[in-house]
A and B are shown apart, each in its own frame.
Chain A
Amino acid sequence: MTNNIEDKILDFKHKQSAHCENGVVSNLLQYYGIQLSEPMVFGIGSGLFFSHMPFLKIGGIPVTSFRPMPGIIFKRISKRLGIKFEKHKYSNPHKSMVALDENIGKGIPTGMLVGVYHLTYFPDPYRFHFNAHNIVVYGKKDGDYLISDPIMEGHEKLTYDELLRVRYAKGLFAPKGHMYWAEKIPEEIDLEGAIKKGIKHTCKDMLTIPIPMFGVKGIKFLSKKVRKYPKKLGARRAASFTGQIVRAQEEIGTGGAGFRYMYAAFLQEASVVLKNEELKKLSYELSEIGDMWREFAVITGRIVKNRNKADESYDHAANLLYSIGEKEEVFFKKLKNSIA
């Protein structure tokens, strides 16, 4: 493919983050002079969540998630900070690249959704068919696209064909060339109001969804499932099912303990902005809950390692999950009251 725009490199500062959605928002805002850390973006966007959906399976294994659906953090943060993003999907792949070239030509750093599987610079063990990864294209040099991928430590680049391929990955959450860029940045943002809204929403999601698969109820629900795994599934599959929970909890992007540490970091920052000491105390409390999630991962690691033998630790893992569920219930009630 020929490309008709000349080399152009925007002065875009790439900063690594744990999670791609927060990272892209944080880096894009930084370009427009708004400094918000990753935990801030995550907290305001109400990125913390829990769900366990036994009927929704990927590769035959039920989905457990520590975050809301992809795109939700993005939607919430733009609403709460009053930032307007222009969004586009393109049914014609070639047009999506022309539109990108036009954006770069106009000096607009452009975010987009891509599939991870064909990302050439990604480590192989992490290359699976996950389609809701976010990157920013901030320039073009010698025909290659310059990429700021929030997961990576440094800058990356992709050829025209490589970028086209990941933008049109197929399957669940197929990106379909989706791209977005900041259209209107408000003069002033109401940080305090945004933080409070973000916290309230998270508490509501964790405490009040009347379906047992979500929020703190979901954690207790999962605990019951895990207890039954070895009998119901046999040693090998039980290990796969439990291992999957830990992969969701610790795989690239959560910053440790299924976003609990990142959220604790947010509460610490929020306590300064809101001048609220209680939030700082709660931040430490959440850190301890995070440590319990890490302990759960350690037990699971052992179960998985000895996966071909019947294992006694399932009860232990299930008990731990149940008490995490109880602790988080108390925690989010306190958090809700702390900003009332």
Chain B
Amino acid sequence: MKTTDVPQDDANMLQGKFREPVYSLDADGNYTTVKSVGWDAKNEVMKEAWDSVNEKIEKARKDVLSGKLSPIGYYIEKNIMDVSLVASYMGIWRWTVKRHLKPSRFKKLNNEILKKYASVFNISVEQLKDISKL
């Protein structure tokens, strides 16, 4: 690819935080890097991946509101985690986390455990318990 062909298709994927160096050939046929803000092809596949994540979050949100799932299930999706990753952050068994996904179990959790979950999800205990704002 030539330096002049390096795409600059900004879809705000980098949020202006940096530009990515792309290796390309200059007019003399020497390799150099050109900083790029993005590329349509890549933006599309990134969007698709985030759409998938958001679909899962939305499904979890509905399940929480209809009483099928505890808020932990929602925040797992929101943080792009899964049960086993949460279990390793919590330092507890996977099946224990799975039990906490049941709203009835979640209601009985003591403050200590809730605090730990909240810190894994980077939120407060109040936020974790309050489903009215999901």
Write out the residue numbers on chain A whose beta carbons fall within 8 Å of the beta carbon of B131: none
Which DSSP category, helix, strand, loop or mixed, fits chain A's interface? helix
Interface-facing stretch out of A105-113, A121-129, A224-232: A121-129
Complex contact B48–A129 (CB within 8 A): no
Taking CB atoms, residues of chain A closer than 8 Å to B45 are 243-244, 246-247, 250, 297, 300-301, 304
B 37-72 binary contact with A (CB < 8 Å = 1; else 0): 001111111111110100000000000000000000
| Chain B residues in 8 Å Cβ range of A294 | 1, 41
Task: Decide: B31 and A298 in contact? CB cutoff 8 A.
Answer: no
Write out the residue numbers on chain A whose beta carbons fall within 8 Å of the beta carbon of B20: 18, 252
Q: How many Å lie between the Cα of A265 and that of B47 in the bound state? A: 30
A124 near B41: Cβ-Cβ < 8 Å: no
Q: Does B96 lie at the interface of the complex (its beta carbon under 8 Å from any beta carbon of A)? A: no
Residues in A with CB closer than 8 Å to B14 are: 123, 125-126
Given contacts A123-B15, A243-B48, A304-B48, contact A287 B41 (CB under 8 A): no
Docked complex Cα distance between A298 and B41 (Å): 5
CB of A239 within 8 A of chain B?
yes
Instruction: Return the contact of B44 from the options A154, A174, A240, A301 (Cβ within 8 A).
Output: A301
A206→B14 CA distance, assembly (Å): 32
Cβ–Cβ contact A124 & B15, under 8 A: yes
Query: Bound complex: CA of A114 vs CA of B54, how far in Å?
Result: 25
Q: A171 contacts the other chain (Cβ, under 8 Å)?
A: yes
**Are A256 and B22 in touch, CB under 8 angstroms?**
yes
CA distance A307 to B55 in the complex (A): 14
Of residues 292 through 338 on chain A, the ones whose CB sits less than 8 Å from some CB of chain B are 294, 297-298, 300-302, 304-305, 307
Tell me if B30 is interfacial: C-beta within 8 Å of chain A: yes
Number of B interface residues, CB 8 Å?
Answer: 40
Taken together as a complex, chains A and B put the C-alpha atoms of A300 and B39 apart, in Å, by 13
A284 CB to nearest B CB, Å:
7
Say yes or no: is B93 at the interface (Cβ < 8 Å to chain A). Answer: no
The B interface is mostly helix, strand or loop, or mixed, namely mixed
Contact of A297 with B1 at beta-carbon distance under 8 Å, contacts A16-B18, A171-B85, A255-B21 already known: no
On chain B, the residues within 8 Å of A16 by CB distance are: 18, 21
With A125-B13, A152-B18, A297-B41: A261-B23 Cβ-Cβ less than 8 Å: yes
Indicate if the CB atoms of B41 and A261 lie closer than 8 Å. no
Give complex CA distance A221, B1 in Å: 26
Q: Mark A5-35, 1 if CB is under 8 A from B, else 0.
A: 0000000000011100000000000000000
Range, interface on chain A: 35 or more
- What 0/1 pattern do residues 261 to 277 of A give for CB contact below 8 A with B? 11011001100000000
Q: Does A178 sit at the interface, judged by CB under 8 A?
A: no
C-alpha spacing A154/B50, complex, angstroms: 27
Q: Which of A17, A153, A170, A264 contacts B85 (CB 8 A)?
A: A170
Interface assignment of B33: CB less than 8 Å from any CB of chain A:
yes
B22→A261 contact, CB < 8 A: yes
**Which residue on A lies nearest to B14, using beta carbons?**
A123
When C-beta atoms are compared, the residue in chain B nearest to A152 turns out to be: B18
**Cβ-defined contact, A153 with B44, below 8 A:** no
Which single member of A18, A122, A243, A244 contacts B23 (CB below 8 Å)?
A18
Q: Which residues of A contact B (CB under 8 A)?
A: 16-18, 39, 59, 117-118, 121-126, 128-129, 151-154, 170-171, 174, 239-240, 243-244, 246-247, 250-252, 255-257, 261-262, 264-265, 268-269, 283-284, 287, 290-291, 294, 297-298, 300-302, 304-305, 307
A-B contact pairs, 8 of them (CB 8 A): A170-B88, A243-B48, A250-B42, A252-B20, A291-B1, A294-B1, A301-B45, A304-B44
